[in-house]
Amino acid sequence: MREPVKRAYDSSRRREQARATQRSVLEAARELFVTNGYGRTTIKDIAAAAGVSAELIYATFGNKATLLHRAWDITIGGDDEQVLFHERPEVRALMAEPDLVRRLRAQAVLLTSTAHRIAPFIRALQGAAGSEPVAADMLAEIDRQRLVGISVMASQAAATGQLAVSEAECRDVVWASSDGALWHKLVVEQGWSDERFSDWLGRMWVAVLVTAPLVAGRPTNDGG
Cα–Cα distance measured from residue 19 to residue 23, given in angstroms and rounded to the nearest whole number: 6
pLDDT band at 176 (very low <50, low <70, confident <90, very high): very high
pLDDT band at 4 (very low <50, low <70, confident <90, very high): low
Per-domain boundaries in the chain:
1-63, 83-224
Q: What is the structure's pLDDT at 182?
A: 94
Cα–Cα distance measured from residue 88 to residue 50, given in angstroms and rounded to the nearest whole number: 28
CB of 206 within 8 A of CB of 101?
Answer: yes
Q: What is the structure's pLDDT at 222?
A: 45
Q: How many helices, marked H, and strands, marked E, lie in the chain?
A: 11, 0
Quote the pTM value.
0.78
The DSSP code for 40 is: T
What architecture (CATH level 2) is domain 83-224?
Answer: Orthogonal Bundle (1.10)
In the chain, the amino acid numbered 60 is T
Q: Which fold has domain 1-63?
A: Arc Repressor Mutant, subunit A (1.10.10)
